[in-house]
Structure 1
Amino acid sequence: MDDETVASRGSIAVKNAVLTVPGGTSGLRFEIHSTPSRGHSSVQKWYLKANHPVEATRWITAIQRSIEIAKREGDQLERRSGESDATSLKPASSIGGASHYAKKKDRPMAKALQSAPSSAAGDVDDAGDISDRKEGDHPADEQDDEREDSSDAGSTQQAPPHTNAFELQGNALLAQVDLTTQLLSSLPQQIPGSPRAVELSKAIDETFTSVSGMLTEYVHMVKDREEWYKAKLDRERERQNIWEESLQAVVLEGDRLEQELRSRFRRRSRAPSASGAPGDTLRRRTSEIVASPIMQVENIIAPAAAAAAIARQEEPGSPTGVKTPTTTTAQRAVPLQRPSISSPSHSTGRLSLIKGGGKVLGDEDDEAYTDEEDEFFDAIESNTLPNLVITQSLMHPGGTEFYISREMYKGYLKLRDRLAITSDDRPPMSLWAVLKNSIGKDLTKISFPVFFNEPTSMLQRMAEDMEFSECLDAAQAEKDPHRRIAFVAAFAMSNYSSTIGRIAKPFNPMLSETFEYVRFDKEYRYVSEQVSHHPPISACWAESPHWRYYGEVDAQNKFMGKSFEIRPTGIAHAELLLPEEMGPDYPKAKGPHVKGQAVEHYSWKKVTTNVSGFILGSPTIDHYGDMIITNHRTGDQCILTFKPRGWRGKDAYEISGYVQDTHGNVTYEIAGRWNSQLVARQVGTGVGQLHPDVPLSSPTSPTASSEYILLWRNSVKPPAPFNLTPFAITLNDCPEDTLKPFVCPTDCRLRPDQRAFELGKYERANELKNKQEEFQRAVRKAREEGRAPPHKPRWFSPTTEPDTRERVWMPAMVEDQLEYWIEREKVTKAKQTGVAEDWNEVDRIFIEDAP
């Protein structure tokens, strides 16, 4: 259709032409294609060939310019036509004496007026004089609207300008410059004044003129494209700022709503209600049902606290435990129903059987929580629980002859209790500024500045699981298998107490990085290795005369916008070394110093960790989910439910759980908080759930048998830089003469960037961290290209654990002894006698810069 007006059949309209330059034609060939018209599908193609690349370049440039001019004129013509049509149909701005000025935001209404019946045209014409005057009063507004229209039109352009011509223009310019260079090189060879020299001079002048014009056109194209990209970048920045402001507003609004709900709930819980009314709160009903017993408890609590304080000062008389003297009462034993493993939140730990009322307060009363439900935890913290049993192993860990040499590990005889710096004076940086572009991403693949770190490695953070190893000592000393699994569960949850306020990020370990640690006072030694980098996996092994602990850390983490979550997928294992008579059918322990002992195997997975509130500058860490500890020899299980922090903060740090045998019968209730203590009580020795509202009576009652077992108690954690615990402060200590020469060269204590950070040299630490990462990338590239052997973990190897049928990283053994400790003692012996000895098959992984 567009070709009908031209004189020659087969011609192509310039405004519908598409110019292409195929590759591999030495710059001589180019093609012109037509764009099919509406209703037609045929396409014409012209294949053209020039005699010289310069000629081809000139034709290509001229045709491309013609195409652009034709398209530009066509767009302007269509725009003028559209504006003319709109002006002819535009209604008056004032109708019937009422002024009406339609701005850009009112254009939909103006378009609706344009479609009014023709009968209204007379009225419009009659008001034409008013319309003209009103329109003349707002020239600036109309100009603003035109600018907005042009901006909107520009924003809808998906591709940058000169998309097709830009590359062609660049190639043509290069070809023209190359031709000019050839002409200039041949000019000195000609005789001055000769016809050939004159011709060359003229050609050079023309070529320079052509190059100048092409360069000018190319610069204009560059400016147009630069403006397009700048406009697009500004729009993206504006959208990003709007998104950030909106998200922050949502967070602030959510925080305000939480505070409002919390205050309304408190007002509602304090409001008086009629006795027996359906809307009574749990506080009202509880106080009415057990009013007199509670008064009795209050009268007894004070002397019980004093007696407990006296008992803590006395040396325990029996090896099994210490019982705090208190007044007990007669109680009616109520059998506990079997809970559902699949949904522990609906277990008997959520029921409250209150003596005297015979009424079950279940899930329908969850909304009516009051301060009385925290009295149990307050009683634990103030040591006022009746008949609280504290196992000897918790009070005095160790006590046996540790089989490793003090001379070999004398660097661990005296552990430091403070850092070199006294305060956290890191340069202030916004965590949100780093994370805002990483929503939905894996945090392990995000490079954080070192200023967000703390002076520990992830391997050392992993070693903090061992802070309360006395829980495993207590488990090994118990004869009751249900108490044993309760103490193992206490050990499994105890490491979360070190996360309070620990928002800073540990250093990511290098591949093959290791960490060793020895505690003579608690009688264990520990070693770990970074066995994989992507995904990051750390394996560890700890051994004691009473138990073994091993496992891996393999976590999935993701940033969710308002918070980020860490979901561990690795499995932790513990083996208690029991006398063979306690487990005659158990597997026999292998290795030195374990003769006559059998292995009782436990395993569990960690719960989800959530960090939120960093947008508002008050980050909070929380842990939630179910932790299921399984005894693979007896089939017993202990289920601990970490309750998520609610909007009221009522369930902060709270844990509830139970122990059940292989048949599903609940034998022990467990309750506590992961930042303070964990207590258990045998089923049948009290009424209802583990709660202080149980009525107490005379200690002479023959049925007084309520007994609480302290499973774990948090240690005192004085203020320290980065909120490090006293245990964590000892981990990166590396005395120059007693430890540094003997540890493995891959030990994280020897990392220069981490050491510089601990000394407060943060800029230097950031510089060394970048160098360390570049060194690791170079090693990885050498392995990928075959210039270095592939990586293989030195001290651990994966295998399948027969009880869980899951992967587990086990340490390399030599005659049932860890190869790491054998190598460590060999090197230590040699160096202590003045003989130079290197670690066998250990590669260099750290840079050698000074911290």
Structure 2
Amino acid sequence: MGTPGENQGKGGFFAAMTSGLSMFGNAMHRSVNGLLGYEGVEVINPEGGKEDAVEEAQRGRWKQEERDNYWKMMQKYIGSDVTSMVTLPVIIFEPMTMIQKMAELMEYSYLLDQADKCEDPYMRMVYAASWAVSVYFAYQRTWKPFNPILGETYEMANHGGITFISEQVSHHPPMSAGHAENEHFTYDVTSKLRTKFLGNSLDVYPVGRTRVVLKRDGVVLDLVPPPTKVNNLIFGRTWIDSPGEMVMTNLTTGDKAILYFQPCGWFGANRYEVDGYIYNAEEEPKILMTGKWSESMSYQPCDSEGEPLPGTELKEVWHVAESPPDDKYQFTYFAHKINSFDTAPKKLLASDSRLRPDRWELEKGDLSKAGTAKSSLEERQRAEKRHREAKGEQFSPKWFDLTDETAPTPWGDLEIFRYNGKYTEHRRAVDSSNSDDTTDVKSTDFSPWQYPDLSV
């Protein structure tokens, strides 16, 4: 399979939608498929002809020798979950971690503010569902984020009055938890990523739970996103599709938004398209929604048959923001913002993703130092695991607590981590401090560790 859109870059591959994203089943098999077992070995460009397919096969992301060696190594994993099984070369990474990427769901948080202010229960769902769709433009990046180190965190401030904290709460299986809050809403997510490697493609199952509480009326929203398929991991140019249903349920009233992400067809047919309805508790359609997750979403009141009401017209509710032209990593302006220290709060935690030496070196363009730093971090994490097991100890996250609750998802049961409120207390104490700390935060050593350096 080849690239379906002009915005796709040449780099690595996507491996994560937490939920932050959190973000999957049978619908993926209706997407553009290659050969079973060796999916996508024959490269097909859904927006071009046979000549384009041959050209894409020759371009790829790898040098010929690198690609062949990687293909030989990866064949044994076909059909497996490779979430944390395989050590990957730093050349395919973007200078961001998965728990940073969770914060990208906050770019269009004003839509949740609007949902909280809205008195019409169905328009409230229009705003909230548009917020859930909005992140997909950013999530189509084809570079892979770094896997977080156990205990790693990410903090965001200075955006829409939001306080955001995420933490890697488990390494095997990889699990992250996040919490965001402003005057209009709270957002909580537990994410456990599962994957299925199919040769030249990867199915991504977001085994997660996302809950949003709108503060004015105490409305609780639950989000189940569609699956994601990463095409052309090795052969051809990598691109991403998310075919299937997104379901957002108002657990307070029973209203629902059900939006269908169309699978990309031959020659790019239906690429990016999203269509669906806002339903009341009696499952009657009240508002239709349509658009493209790469551009905008619109809505229109409809009758009980789902047809637009006479005298009404489509109105746009969300439009994607302008992106930097020819950006190396396909970052949006907001991605650059959350990757910078501009959104860092006062006295950043030493466990913050921005301080990772491998991420930092990759951002500076030194792949050699980035690779060495990545290997060093992973080895120290393994040493901590061995030490922890030898002492019979368990890892305990700082900002989230493991509960007794297990939530069913379409892709398996999920253990739920709950925000414990300690970060709010920590941030309040730091922000109210009168100390004039002029320390350059960039000089802070990255430290998510449970123990002193075991290699010393």
Instruction: State the distance in 2 between where 1:256 and 1:673 align.
Output: 17
Aligned to 2:258: 639
The equivalent of 1:482 in structure 2 is 122
Q: 1:826 Cα shift? A: 2.8
Q: Give the Cα–Cα distance (whole angstroms) in 1 for the partners of residues 333 and 417 of structure 2.
A: 29
2:429 maps to 826
After superposition, where does 1:512-551 map in structure 2 within 5 Å?
A: 512-520=151-159, 522-551=160-189
Match of 2:29 in 1: none
Q: Tell me what 1:466 maps to.
A: 106
The aligned amino acid for 1:450 is: V
C-alpha distance in 1 between matches for 2:191 and 2:378 = 22
Alignment of 1:762-781 (within 5 A): 762-781=367-386
Letter in 1 for 2:379: E
- The letter for the 1-side match of 2:341 is C
Matches within 5 A, 1:197-276: 251-252=42-43, 259=49
Contact 1:607–1:625 (Cα < 8 Å) also in 2: yes
Question: Structure 1 residues 688, 660: closer, same or farther in 2, change over 3 A?
Answer: closer
Instruction: Work out whether 1:683 is the aligned partner of 2:302.
Output: yes
Q: What amino acid does structure 2 have at the position aligned with 1:549?
A: Y
RMSD: 3.4
Note the C-alpha offset of 1:248.
9.2
> How far did residue 825 of structure 1 move?
4.0
Distance 2:183 2:47 in 1: 54
**Structure 1 counterpart of 2:204, which letter?**
I
**1:732 correspondence with 2:372:** no
1:804 Cα offset (Å):
8.3
CA-to-partner distance for each residue in 1:330-364, whole Å, 9 max, x for gaps?
xxxxxxxxxxxxxxxxxxxxxxxxxxxxxxxxxxx
SS at structure 1 position matched to 2:103: helix
- Structure 1 gaps of 5+ residues are 1-243, 263-425, 579-597, 691-702, 814-818, 837-841
Q: Tell me if 1:782 matches 2:377.
A: no
Contact kept, 8 Å, 1:518 with 1:525, in 2: the verdict is yes
Query: Higher RCO, 1 or 2 (CA under 8 Å, sep at least 6)?
Result: 2
Taking the aligned partners of 2:46 and 2:318, their CA distance within structure 1 comes to 36
Matched, 1:455 2:58: no
Is the 8 Å Cα contact of residues 752 and 768 (structure 1) preserved in structure 2?
yes
1:835 deviation in Å? 12
SS at match of 1:651: coil
**How far 1:601 moved relative to its partner?**
0.2
Higher strand share: 2
Which protein shows a greater Rg?
1
Instruction: Tell me the residue number matched to 2:313.
Output: 707
Contact kept in structure 2, 1:248 and 1:615, CA below 8 Å: no
Whole-Å Cα distance in 2 between the matches of residues 248 and 565 of structure 1? 11
For residues 141-176 of structure 1, the C-alpha deviation after alignment (integer angstroms, 9 at most, x for no partner) is: xxxxxxxxxxxxxxxxxxxxxxxxxxxxxxxxxxxx
Q: Deviations over 1:500-528 (max 9, x none)?
A: 3x1111111000110000134x2211100
Match of 2:191 in 1: 553
Task: Give deviations 1:195-243, integer Å, cap 9, x for gaps.
Answer: xxxxxxxxxxxxxxxxxxxxxxxxxxxxxxxxxxxxxxxxxxxxxxxxx
- Alpha-carbon displacement from aligned partner over 1:745-791 (angstroms, at most 9, x marks no partner): 111111111111111111011011111111111111111110x7421
Q: Secondary structure at the match of 2:87?
A: coil
Q: Partner amino acid for 2:360?
A: R
Larger helix share, 1 or 2 = 1
The Cα offsets for residues 445-503 of structure 1, whole Å up to 9 and x where unpaired, read as: 11101111100011111111111111101111211101101211111111111023x11
Displacement after TM superposition at 1:734 (Å): 2.9
CA distance, structure 2, for counterparts of residue 257 and residue 623 of structure 1:
17
Give 1:709's aligned amino acid: K
**1:613 matched to 2:232:** yes
How far apart are the structure 2 equivalents of 1:551 and 1:249?
33
Aligned residue in 2 for 1:756: 361
State whether residues 523 and 545 of structure 1, in contact with CA within 8 Å, keep that contact through their aligned partners in structure 2: yes
Measured in 2, the distance between the counterparts of 1:656 and 1:760 equals 40
Q: CA deviation at 1:565?
A: 0.8
Conservation of the 8 A alpha-carbon contact between 2:177 and 2:189: yes
Structure 2 CA distance for partners of 1:485 and 1:772, relative to 1, 3 Å? same
Q: Residues 710 and 565 of structure 1: is their aligned pair in 2 closer, same or farther, counting only changes over 3 Å?
A: same
Residue from 112, 116, 134 that aligns with 1:494 = 134
Whole-angstrom distance in 1 between the partners of 2:288 and 2:310: 18
Alpha-carbon shift at residue 715 of structure 1 (Å): 0.8
What letter matches 2:283 in structure 1? Answer: G
Of 717, 721, 729, which aligns to 2:328? 721
Cα drift, residue 689 of structure 1: 4.9
Contact 1:458/1:509 (8 A) holds in 2: yes
Are the counterparts in 2 of residues 443 and 557 from structure 1 also a CA contact under 8 Å?
Answer: yes
Q: Distance in 2 between matches of 1:486 and 1:739?
A: 31
Contact (CA 8 Å) 1:772, 1:846: kept in 2 or not?
A: no
1:338-349 equivalences under 5 Å are none
Contact 1:638–1:660 (CA<8 Å) still a contact in 2?
yes
Match of 1:321 in 2: none
1:68-95 deviation per Cα after TM superposition (whole angstroms, max 9, x unaligned):
xxxxxxxxxxxxxxxxxxxxxxxxxxxx
1:810 pairs with 2:418 = yes
Q: TM-score, normalised by structure 1?
A: 0.43
8 Å CA contact retained: 1:772, 1:847: no
Shift of 1:798: 2.7
Indicate conservation of the 8 Å contact 1:489/1:629, yes or no. yes
Number of residue pairs aligned between Structure 1 and Structure 2:
392
- Provide the C-alpha distance between the structure 1 equivalents of 2:115 and 2:40, rounded to a whole number of angstroms: 50
1:681-720 residue CA offsets vs partner (Å, 9 max, x unmatched)? 10149x9756xxxxxxxxxxxx962132322211111221
Q: Describe how 1:1-400 pairs up with structure 2 within 5 A.
A: 251-252=42-43, 259=49
In structure 2, the CA distance between the partners of 1:743 and 1:255, relative to structure 1 (3 Å rule), is closer
> What is the alpha-carbon distance in structure 2 between the residues aligned to residue 809 and residue 248 of structure 1?
35
Aligned-partner SS, 1:639: strand
Structure 1 residue 821: Cα displacement: 3.0
State how far apart, in whole Å, the 2-side matches of 1:826 and 1:801 are: 31
Aligned partner of residue 554 in structure 1, secondary structure? strand
- The corresponding residue for 2:205 is 567
SS state at 2:254 partner: coil
SS in 2 for 1:569: strand
How many percent identity over aligned positions? Answer: 31
